[in-house]
Amino acid sequence: MRPPPVKPSLLALLALVGLACKAKIGDECLRSTDCSLQGERICDLSHRVDPRGVVTPGGKGECTIDGCGLGSCPKEAACIKVYGSDFLSIACDPAREDLAVACDPDEEGEAICEARGCVPSTEPSVWTCPPRNDCDPNEVCLPEGLCADEVTARTSCRRKCSNDRDCREGYECRETGSGGVYRAPNLDDPQDLGTVRICMPVG
């Protein structure tokens, strides 16, 4: 005997259940199908951690969306830009990288202005400090004072949090803005360097 045909209403209900069970950003995973059957979310295995936060091949990754932009992540997540920490080794001055600035010898002293490589300008009591070029053309000077490779930087959605209890085991709630981890820039306001708290692997 053939089984009775499945009614369309039942198929629709099953589809809704499947959508409701879709993993959230930051949930643990081993493969992308753990995150979504539609393929719009992937399993990031770059940091496979166990419940203690130890990086291990036996650990699990986290569900995310790659290539996000500001405001494009689900409500539980924020778009984060990460620079490769292996390249964060060259110091720079974010206030002077590719920018000329002024130095006031009356306030800072001529010796300080000279030490910064500044020279007297045509305006009285104002010295001009030439721009610095510590970073390569493909790099940006981060607010923390380190050159970062813009080409290899990656944006992805990461779980937002208020405290450690909002994060799964092995993760803790930390603020962006250091270590090469930043909130994705606002293209309408590039100077907006606000931070956000997200779940990151412990340690």
Q: Which residues of the chain have pLDDT under 70?
A: 1-21, 187-193
Rounded distance between C-alpha atoms, residue 122 and residue 127, angstroms = 8
Does 195 map to a domain? yes
Distant-in-sequence, close-in-space partners of 199: CB < 8 Å, separation ≥ 6? 26, 158, 159, 160, 161, 166, 167, 168, 171, 172, 173, 174
Spatial distance between the Cα atoms of 101 and 130, rounded to a whole number of angstroms = 7
Whether residue 121 is contained in a domain is answered as: no
Task: Please check whether residue 89 lies inside any domain of the structure.
Answer: no
**Domain coverage including residue 29:** 22-83+153-201
Q: pTM (2 decimals)?
A: 0.73
User: Would you say residue 128 lies in a domain?
Assistant: no
Residue 134 inside a domain? The answer is no
Q: Name the domain count of the chain.
A: 1
Give tens-digit pLDDT for 17-37. 444 457 899 999 999 999 999
pLDDT tens digits, 147-168: 999 889 999 999 999 999 999 9
